[in-house]
Structure 1
Amino acid sequence: MRDFRDVRSVSDLTRRQRLLIYYVLGLGGVILFFTIAYNTGMRTLEGEDHSIFRSFQTVVETMTTTGYGADSPWATPWMNGLVVLMQLSGIGIAFFTLRVLVIPLFKRTPVSLADRLTPKDDHVVIGEYRRDSEVLLEELEGVGIEYVLIDSDREEAERLSDAGYQVIHGDPEDADALERASVRDASLLITDAGDRNASVALTALDLNEDLRVVSLTESARRTDALERIGVDRPVSPPVLIGERLARKAATSVTISEDTSFGENIEIRELLVRRESPLHGIEIRDSQFADHPELTLVAGWFDGGLRLPPSPTDRLAPNTVLVVAGPGDVLDDLRGELSGVRSTREHTNVVVAGAGEGGNAVVDTLSDDVSITAIDREDREGVDIVGDIGEPETLEAAGLDEATALIVTVDDDATALLAIALARSLTDDLEILARVSDDGNVATAFGAGADYVLSIQQTTARLLAREVHGEDVVSPIGQLRLVRTDAAPFAGRTLEAANEEAADEWVIVGVERDGAFRTDATTPIEAADTVVVAGTDETIRTFEREIA
């Protein structure tokens, strides 16, 4: 349970913490009242002028039944009545203290997890979560989102609650459990209850018809049915991951028509591989940060787009950086850094696994990409039937001629075996893979993968950004480049103009007299042309408000 060290405001207090504060304040108030009343009574009714401290001592002795001091007996009925009231109050307070505060500390009595919840309003209710709950809850807390998770497994609910998360035990199909999660005051419901998703959503919408609902489903074929009963956004994690892996394999940067970069200026995606010396260092400490001829446009970190990356972002084997500059400079830099290579648009792809994720890969890849699909079962769309853990199967799929292997099987052990086997057969191959368990991402890199997405982490980030109002599903192709007039930026250097961009878009470079310049110190003149990079949404905003 979170302790008082985690409290920053009254709203951070749990129900039990508030009860403890009310108890302390109430007890202090009762003792103060009796002390003043007793002191006044002894002086006016009994004719004895006591100090307030002696009266305080007598009150405490009486309420705790440890004695009554030298003042007894009392002559007046009013003082005897006051002392009796103090005695009865002491008994009542002692019973309350034992039952509510003391006994739960020393005895394993059932404690309502709802008592540990902080006050909720405009929050997120999670009606079951069948993946790693801590990964999701950490994502939500990381961006400051209030939530309540309803978990039907009592032991798991108690474990998460003891760890400080806002979790209660209950059945999310039960209106009572949703009421305890304050669903009437919530703004969003997330359901991941399998076949019970529809029931959970309907029960919650009966209690709060304005609730927005996001449901996770393993099969994209259920999305229409979920939408019919009121789910605003059905999400299939295997399909989501498949689409992202496909876009990473087949698409680099979308360049608008008439966007030119001058002689020898290129924009490349540089993949930080597992053996790179850049692994673990922050961007500000890398060779990309202050290079006079290069512009760091964007980066994908664990599949999430950051434009531009923060100087404190750490480079890892899953990082893809978009860098603009002279081609020869990029070549030299890549040569200096082992474990960094330019990504490429693949035209010959082997897909291992023809389930929901594999089908999403095939559907997302363009028609001019040659695709060979492998699966254990002979079903529609499968080209090679066999075990991807066998060299003969991969060889039959033409792995030696492929430029990329995308692994989308459901079992992590099978996926890791396929990655290791493919890497042993050829090193001139980009391997992109998905794993279910977040803990297997590092293992997949060790086995030879170049790019790995975890269903647990990606789904958690998707949901956190969904609540936070950001688009986490940014595919590679959403990074756009447009060529526009430089007048709005005249008088500033390229570096200064980018500092004012509010992390929404990046000026890649300046075109002047037929030359394209990416040097950060380049002054921008009104007659220049600039090339700006951003997502579809931010470029539209840029064109509407600035260009």
Structure 2
Amino acid sequence: MNKKKEIFFIKYLNSRGKKYAFSLVALIFFYTIIFRIIYPLFEKKEIGIIRSFEFIIESMTTTGFGGLMPFHHPITNIFAVIVMISGVVMIFMVIPLFLVPWIESKMRSEPIKEVEETLENHVIICGYSEIVDFLVEELEINSIPYVVIDANPEICLSLNDKGIRSIHGIPGSVQALKNAGIKRAKYLLVTSKDEENANIILTAKGISDIDIIALVEEPDNAKYLQYAGAKKVACPKHELGERMAYRTFIPIVRELYSALHIPSNLKVTEILVPEDSHITNLSLVESGIGKESGAKIIGIWKEGKFTTELTSDTTLEPNSILFAIGTKKEILNLKNLLLSEENIGKEHNINLIIIGYGHVGKEIYKYLDHMPENVTIIDKKEINLKNALTGNATDDTLLKKAGIEKNCAVLIALNDDTQALYTTLLARNLNPNAYIITRCNNISNIDKFYKAGANYVLALPMIAGLMLANIITDKGRLEFDRLGIERFSVKGSVSSEKTIKELDVRKKTGCTIIGIERRGETILEFNTDFKILEDDIIIVVGTNNSLEKLKKEYQLVPSQ
């Protein structure tokens, strides 16, 4: 059973099927208990619960009486007749409730052109695409009714067969919108090209005051769709760019600097653990790097994820990135401890290569431009940036010039999946250890990107569908597993005068305390017995959701 048919099955069960199944099970259970009581009472013979159940099933399905007949008492006979009649009624109920609708749907050659009049407070989706698949799944989970309008009759028939309510019509026509029940609907979603969306919005506003949510292809066109009448405009390309950027480590460095209020004599740096390092695969304690260098390891970035939950057993895996804080001398000592003797003094910076500088590429760079020395951009068009290279990303010479053979992460933001796939293959061939994040425009190509060597794939249709669903379900901005770092004042909260162990922040919220500011000094070295005082400021790292949970759980107020 494919995913959409499964959704349809669940949805159908939640209405008629669920009530029928519950009634049938309850009736069988009730009859079994009654028969278990009256048979010994009137027939003067013992019978077990399993034998009673067997008799009820055989009687209701009219397949026999399990060798218990004839009955000698009239009450037992009357009960048997009631059971048989109930069984026949329940069986005949299946035909109009399930069989007829199923046969009608299979025999229907013409798509539905109008929704039922009872449908209200629903969402009208103009035009079918891959985006709709993800959107519908979220609407189903939240029990929000919807209907899809599409101009292709074959698509409408296919959608209805899968359990996705749809009607045939031109999304931008007055008649189709009326047939979709626009005056009873809650939202209208437009997900086509920007020009078509503008036409649909203007048409809809002429017949209804419905709230319209528009998906914009080109971010620059958002203002025109709002002017046409869209209440909200979602830009998935911006969301995609931000997500790709946050799969790298650089935004975390920026947030660490901002949150920790680092003194001028200290710096935060990121250091790669080379494969040939003598401390590779050792624990933090076994390596002794913190004690010998004097620097403090405050986090590790591994396979696109950042964690500050470090223990003495945390392993220093090859190609992971350590985040450390210390003086210039301490950081230099740490780097030398990580490198093998022949590599001391050589360049071991981590570089990022952005391939494609369209809307998604620009959004990625927005989160990385504070450290331009780490970033190289490749685009066909000439870009007025010092760290940009002009040319085709499928040119291996250009990729080598960008530093593909060094320690790097590659962010492929190309608008064409075919070119992006080839670039992924080429990048993986040139550097087997590169961390490759790629944009995907067609859901069917996701597996191909992973086979080509991508470490992480972000699909534009999926992000677009989830963005729209989040707006409709009033969940606000689409959240993802992005880490943030925030400062909270302890004053007046339940955290005051308690130890780190007593607070148990990690277990309760998923956040980690990485620093404590006390009387203008940032404390980074502390254990679980460290007590938080009334005037302290705690510095915490966590996802958006976990930080919100922390604020509520401990009644904390963000500190400037």
| TM-score (structure 1 length as normaliser) | 0.60
Q: Distance in 1 between matches of 2:166 and 2:160?
A: 5
1:375 aligns with 379
Q: Distance in 2 between matches of 1:495 and 1:376?
A: 54
Q: Distance in 2 between matches of 1:102 and 1:471?
A: 38
Amino acid of the structure 2 residue aligned with 1:353:
G
Answer whether contact 2:300 2:322 (CA < 8 A) is retained: no
Residue 320 (structure 1) aligned with residue 309 (structure 2): no
1:162 aligns with 161
Answer whether contact 2:505 2:511 (CA < 8 A) is retained: no
1:323-347 per-position Cα deviation (integer Å, ceiling 9, x unaligned) = 3345xx3xx5233x67865589987
Answer whether contact 1:510 1:529 (CA < 8 A) is retained: yes
2:205 aligns with 205
Q: Which runs of 5+ in 2 are unaligned?
A: 20-95, 274-297, 325-347
1:110 aligns with 110
Q: 1:124 to 1:452 in 2, by over 3 A?
A: same
1:156-190 per-position Cα deviation (integer Å, ceiling 9, x unaligned) = 22212211123222211012222232322333322
Taking the TM superposition and a 5 Å limit, the aligned residue runs for 1:161-200 are 161-194=160-193, 195-200=195-200
> Which of 434, 452, 461 is the equivalent residue of 1:456?
461
Greater displacement, 463-472 / 344-353: 344-353
2:352 aligns with 349
Per the TM alignment, residue 126 of structure 1 is displaced from its structure 2 partner at its CA by 1.4
2:242 aligns with 243
Taking the TM superposition and a 5 Å limit, the aligned residue runs for 1:241-320 are 241-249=240-248, 250-252=250-252, 254-255=255-256, 257=259, 320=305
Answer whether contact 1:170 1:177 (CA < 8 A) is retained: yes
Q: Distance in 2 between matches of 1:369 and 1:269?
A: 17
Q: Distance in 2 between matches of 1:297 and 1:385?
A: 35
1:63-97 per-position Cα deviation (integer Å, ceiling 9, x unaligned) = xxxxxxxxxxxxxxxxxxxxxxxxxxxxxxxxx99
2:49 aligns with none
RMSD of aligned Cα (Å): 5.3
Per the TM alignment, residue 458 of structure 1 is displaced from its structure 2 partner at its CA by 1.6
Residue 334 (structure 1) aligned with residue 315 (structure 2): yes
Q: Distance in 1 between matches of 2:103 and 2:243?
A: 53
Q: 1:119 to 1:254 in 2, by over 3 A?
A: farther
Amino acid of the structure 1 residue aligned with 2:484:
L
Q: Distance in 1 between matches of 2:179 and 2:140?
A: 20
1:222 aligns with 221
Answer whether contact 1:126 1:148 (CA < 8 A) is retained: yes
Q: Which secondary structure does the structure 2 equivalent of 1:374 belong to?
A: strand
Per the TM alignment, residue 369 of structure 1 is displaced from its structure 2 partner at its CA by 1.0
Q: Distance in 1 between matches of 2:377 and 2:506?
A: 47
Taking the TM superposition and a 5 Å limit, the aligned residue runs for 1:376-415 are 376-377=380-381, 383-400=388-405, 403-415=408-420
Greater displacement, 363-372 / 390-399: 363-372
Greater displacement, 497-506 / 396-405: 497-506
Q: 1:161 to 1:174 in 2, by over 3 A?
A: same
Residue 485 (structure 1) aligned with residue 490 (structure 2): yes
Residue 131 (structure 1) aligned with residue 130 (structure 2): yes
Q: Distance in 2 between matches of 1:203 and 1:267?
A: 55
Q: Which runs of 5+ in 1 are unaligned?
A: 18-95, 272-295, 300-316
Answer whether contact 2:436 2:454 (CA < 8 A) is retained: yes
Per the TM alignment, residue 145 of structure 1 is displaced from its structure 2 partner at its CA by 3.4
Per the TM alignment, residue 438 of structure 1 is displaced from its structure 2 partner at its CA by 2.9
Answer whether contact 2:114 2:167 (CA < 8 A) is retained: yes
Q: Distance in 2 between matches of 1:113 and 1:231?
A: 25
Answer whether contact 2:481 2:544 (CA < 8 A) is retained: no
Q: Distance in 2 between matches of 1:181 and 1:13?
A: 23
Q: Distance in 2 between matches of 1:346 and 1:235?
A: 37
Q: 1:126 to 1:270 in 2, by over 3 A?
A: farther
Q: 1:108 to 1:186 in 2, by over 3 A?
A: closer
Per the TM alignment, residue 376 of structure 1 is displaced from its structure 2 partner at its CA by 3.9
Q: Which secondary structure does the structure 1 equivalent of 2:394 belong to?
A: coil
Q: 1:106 to 1:232 in 2, by over 3 A?
A: closer
Amino acid of the structure 2 residue aligned with 1:365:
L
1:500-532 per-position Cα deviation (integer Å, ceiling 9, x unaligned) = 998697666888999768878988776876444
Q: 1:355 to 1:510 in 2, by over 3 A?
A: closer
Q: 1:520 to 1:175 in 2, by over 3 A?
A: farther
Q: Which secondary structure does the structure 2 equivalent of 1:440 belong to?
A: helix
Q: How many residues align?
A: 422
Q: Distance in 2 between matches of 1:463 and 1:523?
A: 45
Greater displacement, 173-182 / 341-350: 341-350
Per the TM alignment, residue 209 of structure 1 is displaced from its structure 2 partner at its CA by 1.8
Per the TM alignment, residue 372 of structure 1 is displaced from its structure 2 partner at its CA by 3.5
Amino acid of the structure 2 residue aligned with 1:139:
E
Amino acid of the structure 2 residue aligned with 1:375:
D
Q: 1:473 to 1:220 in 2, by over 3 A?
A: same
Per the TM alignment, residue 380 of structure 1 is displaced from its structure 2 partner at its CA by 6.7
Amino acid of the structure 2 residue aligned with 1:168:
I
1:17-50 per-position Cα deviation (integer Å, ceiling 9, x unaligned) = 9xxxxxxxxxxxxxxxxxxxxxxxxxxxxxxxxx
Per the TM alignment, residue 406 of structure 1 is displaced from its structure 2 partner at its CA by 1.6
1:365 aligns with 368
Q: Distance in 2 between matches of 1:13 and 1:207?
A: 34
Per the TM alignment, residue 403 of structure 1 is displaced from its structure 2 partner at its CA by 3.0
Q: 1:524 to 1:358 in 2, by over 3 A?
A: closer
Q: Which secondary structure does the structure 1 equivalent of 2:309 belong to?
A: strand
Per the TM alignment, residue 268 of structure 1 is displaced from its structure 2 partner at its CA by 9.8
Greater displacement, 527-536 / 427-436: 527-536
Q: 1:260 to 1:106 in 2, by over 3 A?
A: closer
Q: 1:132 to 1:481 in 2, by over 3 A?
A: closer
Per the TM alignment, residue 198 of structure 1 is displaced from its structure 2 partner at its CA by 0.3
Q: 1:509 to 1:402 in 2, by over 3 A?
A: closer
Q: 1:478 to 1:177 in 2, by over 3 A?
A: farther
Q: 1:390 to 1:118 in 2, by over 3 A?
A: farther
Q: 1:368 to 1:105 in 2, by over 3 A?
A: closer
Greater displacement, 181-190 / 221-230: 181-190
1:273-329 per-position Cα deviation (integer Å, ceiling 9, x unaligned) = xxxxxxxxxxxxxxxxxxxxxxx9999xxxxxxxxxxxxxxxxx9762533345xx3
Greater displacement, 155-164 / 480-489: 480-489
Higher relative contact order (CA 8 A, sep 6+): 1
Amino acid of the structure 1 residue aligned with 2:413:
T
Q: Which secondary structure does the structure 1 equivalent of 2:404 belong to?
A: coil
Answer whether contact 1:486 1:530 (CA < 8 A) is retained: no
Per the TM alignment, residue 434 of structure 1 is displaced from its structure 2 partner at its CA by 0.8
Per the TM alignment, residue 384 of structure 1 is displaced from its structure 2 partner at its CA by 3.6
Q: Distance in 2 between matches of 1:217 and 1:508?
A: 39
Answer whether contact 2:516 2:522 (CA < 8 A) is retained: no
| TM-score (structure 2 length as normaliser) | 0.59
Amino acid of the structure 2 residue aligned with 1:334:
T
Q: Distance in 2 between matches of 1:379 and 1:229?
A: 33
Q: 1:122 to 1:377 in 2, by over 3 A?
A: same
Q: Distance in 1 between matches of 2:499 and 2:143?
A: 36
